[in-house]
Structure 1
Amino acid sequence: MTISSKPPTLGGSKNIWQQSNWASSCLGQTISLYGSAAPEQWSAASPVLFIGGVHGDEPEGVVLANEWLAWLKSENISQPWLLIPCLNPDGYQRNERTNGRGVDLNRNYPSKCWNPAFEEERYFPGTAPASEPEISALVTLIEQTKPRLIVHFHSWQPSIVYTGESAKSAANILAESSGYPLQPDIGYPTPGSLGEYGANDLGIGVICIEEQEGAVSETIFPRFKQGLIDLMKA
């Protein structure tokens, strides 16, 4: 992965930094990264990191990420942020949970609890921690930027799931705004997940927004818009 410090690309009413080829999927598709500042400012920024499209069969997360990005491009938010609209373009293109090598990216993080065992193919964690280029690039990004909070967008059963007490107050903002229940975990073990790696290993609060699977696209961003704005202003 190569980070470019090219001048920011204009977006809406403010300057937005972007790198369209920030990383590549295992099948060679590009993964884009956007942010409120250029790379040389990251170390002091402690941004909020937003991630969409971790699971390719959860398009609701990509819808939310893209519409939130469009809003960020058009408004002035003083808090620093980074956003990946779709981390798993191979799975998204195929409407499959896993990436192009059949790996569940949310079981591939190099957490202390990573485990090669899996009960279903859709949860295959890979041959080794961070074996997949998508996760390897994201781990490097987290190391570089040291985000103060990570929010990833999924869909399953409506809920706002937080890992790490530092994320609880921010997660509560999203829960109250959306009307979705607040939960301290998803309800079952997730070795190698972002929550395990980010919160339990690195001490970075992690929030997982679980939209209703199959939600009407037009209803997704309006449900979370005010909560996301309040989160960035908190």
Structure 2
Amino acid sequence: MAESSTQAPEQLKAQAGSQENPLWHQADWASSALGQSISLYASHPPEHLNGLASVLFIGGVHGDEPEGVVLANEWLGWLRAANTAQAWLLIPCLNPDGYQRNERTNGRGVDLNRNYPSKCWRPEYQDKRYFPGSAPASEPEISALVNLIAQTEPRLIIHFHSWQPSVVYSGESAKEAASFLANASNYPLQPDIGYPTPGSLGEYGANDLGIGVICIEEQEGIASETIFPRFKQGLIALMTAEAG
């Protein structure tokens, strides 16, 4: 795993950006299944984001993918220092329980990326790593995120993972933004991950809500200092492109 996997999300946040623009931050925006705080950062208070065509970034969905937390926090550092007109929200680590334990699932053993209340959610699963929970949005992390999406109506959602290098988009509205990330990283651009993902963010956001979703899959175990430079120009490009 990357060297940064031993650092807590709060330690990583402290490293982001030495010169910061004012932004909205709530350290205890939500709580994990085991009662840990989940932070949310944004360019504006969430209640003011509806209608601003914001972009929502999410790190640390799976606790054994620390590369996603590294990317989220270093991107937060850029957003703090930059003066971008594009509205945004960022959750550095959605799954602090799993991150602390280096486990994919949350504190109740649920795969958060199978727990969204999508029309295709189903209780069946073949491996405990993919346990979808007792019901759609049964987990507090996903319930809070579903409410946030409903409140702010982002135009695009990007979540940061690690497995095999790729940039996966769900929904045609996300394809152009995904191409910025694929071109910058030289990773393959794909319309799906290659296998069914009922109850995933891609299914819920793109297929049910009509919001484009991008999943960045960084190389698992890659050196942490190489992650943000690989995606930086692509992230900047999609933030400076005309919102649509």
TM-score, scaled relative to structure 2: 0.91
* Partner-residue secondary structure (3-state), 1:67: helix
Aligned equivalents of 1:163, 1:11: Cα separation in 2: 35
Corresponding residue number in structure 2 for 1:61: 68
| Ranges in structure 2 where 5+ consecutive residues have no aligned partner | 1-16
- State the one-letter code of the partner of 1:45: L
Structure 1 residues 171 and 29: alpha-carbon distance in aligned structure 2, compared to 1, 3 A threshold: same
Work out which of the residue numbers 203, 210, 214 in structure 1 matches 2:217.
Answer: 210
- State the one-letter code of the partner of 1:182: L
Q: CA deviation at 1:127?
A: 0.3
- Percent pairwise identity: 77
RMSD of the TM alignment (CA)?
Answer: 1.1
Corresponding residue number in structure 2 for 1:72: 79
Work out which of the residue numbers 151, 161, 169 in structure 1 matches 2:168.
Answer: 161
Work out which of the residue numbers 184, 190, 194 in structure 1 matches 2:197.
Answer: 190
Q: CA deviation at 1:46?
A: 2.2
Confirm or deny: 8 A CA contact 2:68 2:162 kept in the other structure. yes
* Partner-residue secondary structure (3-state), 1:43: coil
Q: CA deviation at 1:39?
A: 2.8
* Partner-residue secondary structure (3-state), 2:90: strand
User: Where in structure 1 do 4 or more consecutive aligned residues deviate above 6 Å?
Assistant: none
Work out which of the residue numbers 121, 132, 135 in structure 2 matches 1:114.
Answer: 121
Q: CA deviation at 1:13?
A: 4.0
Aligned equivalents of 1:161, 1:51: Cα separation in 2: 15
Corresponding residue number in structure 1 for 2:110: 103
Work out which of the residue numbers 15, 33, 43 in structure 2 matches 1:36.
Answer: 43
Confirm or deny: 8 A CA contact 2:182 2:189 kept in the other structure. yes
Per-residue Cα deviation, 1:61-92 (whole angstroms, up to 9, x for no partner)? 00000000011101111100000000000000
| Ranges in structure 1 where 5+ consecutive residues have no aligned partner | 1-9
TM-score, scaled relative to structure 1: 0.95
